[in-house]
Chain A
Amino acid sequence: MATEAHGDETGGLEFHPLDQFIVKPLFGDGAVHWYTITNVTLWMALAVLAIAALFVFGSRGRALVPSRTQSIGEVLYGFTYKMVEDVAGKDAVKFFPYIMTLFMFILFANFLGLLPMSFATTSHIAVTGVLAIAVFLTVTIVGFVKNGAGFLGLFWVSSAPLPLRPVLAIIELISYFVRPVSHSIRLGGNIMAGHAVMKVFAGFAAIAAISPFAVLSITAIYGLEVLVAGVQAYVFAILTCVYLKDALHPSH
């Protein structure tokens, strides 16, 4: 990206692995206001287009014997539906569109972020933080609406010995409020780490002696990152399901 702007002073190795995450306006050089059309906008819009292409355009035939794109959409639908049903329970099915939205957005943003020269929206803590806080608020509100004060039973481990329960309650409470933090940083950190590592190895490729090794490493890490992109989206979705199960059935 902006690497040519750096390092004319030392001439040696220059790593700017985080430059790829800079949010900048698409048109002009002005400041980034909340409404500015930035590279974030571009890549999120591409994610929306990809999702629409797969799920709306792909299934336009409503064929009984599905075409390739339609069957991919059906597989993703069935996979997510089964995950919600199995992990969160039958009564969580009404949250299926919500989880499907999160899952597909993260999945497509992760994969689009892996394209060379692209911008990984899910590597930003602002994005994943909003996603995680949305899940956290949803779970908390659903828990209290469904179970009333009984939702607090989540923190009172009735199977533990009585003297231990207050201690466990504090631990459970802390772990409950750490959830959105770990939920968001897991996703953002994974994507950011993968992209930064690739950039570091790309910097090594400038040295002739180790450039074949660097290129091989980038290839291997790219494969790993493709796996991570899928797995992290899956983990985000399945943890959402697990939290939803806690909200719907708070008893331990």
Chain B
Amino acid sequence: MEGDIAQLGQFIGAGLAGIGSGAAAIGVGHVAGNFLAGALRNPSAAGGQTATLFIGIAFAEALGIFSFLIALLLMFAV
């Protein structure tokens, strides 16, 4: 096998960092699900809170993107 131990570490690390994307998916699902639960309980107040929903989703997703970025960095840049 060609390659070296450092490359092995890179690929394993990238794979581990990829888990973070899944975690972010859980987070986004939580935000959206809880928003929907609240919105169905009080539909009249839901319309004004869509901006908050998107901000929450954005914050949750940003962290997943960070881990994706770490994976990419390990794969291609290190």
Q: Do A and B come from one complex?
A: yes
Cβ A185 vs Cβ B66 within 8 A: yes
Whether the Cβ atoms of B68 and A193 lie closer than 8 Å is: yes
* Main SS at interface, chain A: helix
Flag whether B55 is at the interface (Cβ < 8 A).
yes
- Interface size range of chain B in the complex: 10 to 19
Closest residue of chain A to B76 (Cβ to Cβ) is A18
Q: Is the CB of B62 within 8 A of A182?
A: yes
Number of residue pairs spanning A and B whose beta carbons lie under 8 angstroms apart: 41
**CB neighbours of A190 from chain B (8 A):** 61, 65
Interface residues on A, range: 10 to 19
Find the B residue at minimum CB distance from A236: B58
Residue of A nearest to B68 (CB): A193
Tell me if B69 and A189 are in contact (CB < 8 A).
yes
Contact between A231 and B66, CB atoms less than 8 A apart: no
Query: Is A186 a contact partner of B62 (Cβ separation < 8 A)?
Result: yes
Is B62 a contact of A185 with CB atoms below 8 Å? yes
| Binary per-residue interface labels of chain A (203-247) against chain B in the complex, 1 for a CB within 8 Å, 0 otherwise | 000000000000000000000000000011011001100100000
Interface residues, chain A, CB within 8 Å of chain B?
Answer: 18, 83, 86-87, 182, 185-186, 189-190, 192-193, 196, 231-232, 234-235, 238-239, 242
